[in-house]
Structure 1
Amino acid sequence: MTAKLELSQQQLSKKSALLGTASLFVALVPISLAPVLTKLCEREIGANAVAFHRAWIATIIFGLWCGLEAVSSQKSNNQPIEQKPLTKGELALLFCMGTAGTTYFLLWAWSLTQTSVANVALLSNLNSLFVGLVGYLVFGRRFDHRFVVGMVMAVGGAIAFELNKVQLATDQILGDGLALLTAIFMATYLMLVERLRTRFSTATIMLWRCGVTAMFLLPVLPVVENRLLPYTSMGWFFIIFQALFCQVFGQGLLAYSLSKLSSGVVAVTLLFEPVLASLFAWLIFNEEVSFYDWITFIVILLGIYLAQSSQSADKATN
């Protein structure tokens, strides 16, 4: 009986991991297109204005989503755990998560105006190293050898892929520093969302994340930006499309995957983002992809596979 129960739990764990992996890879599509869409938005308004519009639009969507969840729960007999009173610790975690998400997005958008997209992609995607390091030193997590080897391969492949595109210039030091800070706050955000997903739904977490961003930017936006609104219909289109596609769909799926996978594995899988962006450029814009690039793609994919198939990928083991 015990053996059957353990086998059933293992099958459920595998199905959960597969579902989380699938949602994460789908999320990579809008996430990989976000830098291009942000650059297009920044033709008419500044980085902070882009972040604000993306946040308030997404806040409305997730607010409606939470409302629908509340209505459906009232009609059913199953009462969700979120109806329990919030503790001060949970409120603090939600606020910290929203602050970390706000900070990493603002730093990321700002870094795109100060350095090249390749530099931002390389430095900001080092968040997997910070997730692993903080998880080991602060939370006492232990990663198996398969995960460590996979992470090293994926990070090494990502660095090798971006290295020949990186621009080293003294006037880009600020942007490079902002991109590195982005990685630190992104790692913090992933670990906080992973912890909160045991208590809150995706819609609730994203409502807090986007709501904190909008509330933080609303009073300071007139001070830090000269132009607050796009001046063409195409500018508004890119703003709305980015909010719906990148924030609601992409970041929502990312938060959902953290209920199935550990933050360490999610961070490693996100290293596929610049690869996917290059493949889109190859397919859509016919940009050249060299044999060297294909080799790095394979190395990154192998690293992600090793990390995904390790015991550390199981959220329950962490």
Structure 2
Amino acid sequence: MNVKLQSLEHSWSKAAIFIGTASLFFALIPISLAPSLVKLCEQEIGANAVAFHRNWIGTIIFALLSAIETFQKPNSDDRSLEKKPFTKWEWGLLLVMGTTGATYFLLWVWSVTKTSIANVALLSNLNPLFVGLLGYFLLGRRFDQKFFMGMAIALVGAIAFEFNKVQLGSDQIFGDGLALLTAIFIATYLMLVERLRNRFTTANIMLCRCGITTLFILPILPLTEDRLLPYSGMGWFFIIFQALFCQVLGQGLLAYSLSKLSSGVVAVTLLLEPVLASIFAWFIFSEQVSLFGWMTFAVVLFGIYLAQTSQSAESEI
């Protein structure tokens, strides 16, 4: 009987990891396309205005999804959720998660204005290191040797991909510091979402994240943007499309994957994002990807494979 139970648990664990991995790789497509879509939107409005529209549209969609969940029976996404009343601590943690998500986004936008995009891409993608460090020191989490090997290989590949474009200079130190701080907040956000996924649905979590980000951006708009609304139908199309595709689908699937996979593995897998973003820019804007870039892409993929197949892959929350 115990052997059968262990076999069933093992099969369930494998299935959960597969579902989480599939969700995460699907999420990478809209997440990686986001820079190209934002670039198209910026032909009519600025980056902060794009972010504002992306988040208020996301807030409405996730509010509707949350309302539907309230009046319907729990679906497969919610069966693992405990049905005890939410505590003040859990509501507080949800608020901290939303604030952390908004903060890392604003830090990222600020860092782009103070240093090169390559520096931002390189430093903000160091978040797997901080997931490991914060998990170890704050949560007592242990990752196995295979995971660390995969993380190291993927990080080396991601750093190599961006390093030839990095610009060094004393005038960029402040921006580089902001980018590094972004990595810490991204790591914290991923860990908080992982912890909340056993109590709140994806729609609840994303509603909080999008709503708080919208409120954070709103007072900044008059200071940073001359124009809030696009002036053409095509401009509105790109705004709505990137909100639905990148924010609702991409970020929603990312949050869902954290119910199946550990935040460490998710952080390592997200190292593919800048590489895929460059490949999509190659297709859309004819921005060339060098042979060295394709080689580092293969290195990152190999590192992600090791991390994904390690014993540390499954979420412990």
Q: Could you state the TM-score of these two structures normalised by the residue count of structure 1?
A: 0.91
Cα distance, 1:59 vs. partner?
0.5
Contact preservation (8 Å) 1:27, 1:254: yes
SS at match of 2:73: helix
Cα distance, 1:305 vs. partner?
0.7
Residue matched to 2:185: 185
Residue matched to 2:295: 295
Contact preservation (8 Å) 2:35, 2:277: no
Residue matched to 1:155: 155
Measure the CA separation in 2 of the matches of 1:128 and 1:154: 10
Percentage of pairs with the same residue: 69
Q: What are the residue-to-residue correspondences of 1:168-183 with 2, within 5 Å? A: 168-183=168-183
Residue matched to 1:11: 11
Measure the CA separation in 1 of the matches of 2:5 and 2:56: 46
Contact preservation (8 Å) 1:268, 1:304: yes
Distance change (3 Å), C-alpha of 1:283 and 1:38: closer
Cα distance, 1:219 vs. partner?
4.2
Q: Deviations over 1:53-106 (max 9, x none)?
A: 11110000001111111221299xx99957643211011101000001111112
Contact preservation (8 Å) 2:36, 2:280: no
Q: How many residues align?
A: 315
Q: What are the residue-to-residue correspondences of 1:98-247 with 2, within 5 Å? A: 98-247=98-247
Contact preservation (8 Å) 2:36, 2:281: no
SS at match of 1:51: helix
Distance change (3 Å), C-alpha of 1:134 and 1:79: closer
Residue matched to 1:279: 279
Cα distance, 1:165 vs. partner?
1.7
Measure the CA separation in 2 of the matches of 1:20 and 1:131: 18
Q: Which amino acid aligns with 2:69?
A: E
Q: Deviations over 1:128-163 (max 9, x none)?
A: 111011111111111111001110111011001111
List gaps (5 residues or longer) in structure 2.
Answer: none
Measure the CA separation in 2 of the matches of 1:289 and 1:267: 24
Contact preservation (8 Å) 1:258, 1:266: yes
Measure the CA separation in 2 of the matches of 1:230 and 1:267: 34
Cα distance, 1:223 vs. partner?
4.5
Measure the CA separation in 2 of the matches of 1:10 and 1:83: 25
Residue matched to 2:309: 309
Q: Deviations over 1:2-21 (max 9, x none)?
A: 01110111011001101100
The question of 1:59 aligning with 2:59 is answered yes
SS at match of 1:73: coil
SS at match of 1:190: helix
SS at match of 1:5: helix
Q: Which amino acid aligns with 2:28?
A: L
Measure the CA separation in 2 of the matches of 1:106 and 1:255: 19
Measure the CA separation in 1 of the matches of 2:80 and 2:289: 49
Distance change (3 Å), C-alpha of 1:173 and 1:50: farther
Contact preservation (8 Å) 1:58, 1:210: yes
Distance change (3 Å), C-alpha of 1:173 and 1:11: same
Distance change (3 Å), C-alpha of 1:314 and 1:105: same
Q: What are the residue-to-residue correspondences of 1:257-272 with 2, within 5 Å? A: 257-272=257-272
Distance change (3 Å), C-alpha of 1:179 and 1:34: farther
Q: Which amino acid aligns with 2:254?
A: L
Cα distance, 1:313 vs. partner?
0.6
Distance change (3 Å), C-alpha of 1:171 and 1:30: farther
Q: Which amino acid aligns with 1:91?
A: W
Measure the CA separation in 1 of the matches of 2:80 and 2:15: 22
List gaps (5 residues or longer) in structure 1.
Answer: none
Distance change (3 Å), C-alpha of 1:39 and 1:87: same
Measure the CA separation in 1 of the matches of 2:232 and 2:111: 25
Measure the CA separation in 2 of the matches of 1:80 and 1:127: 28
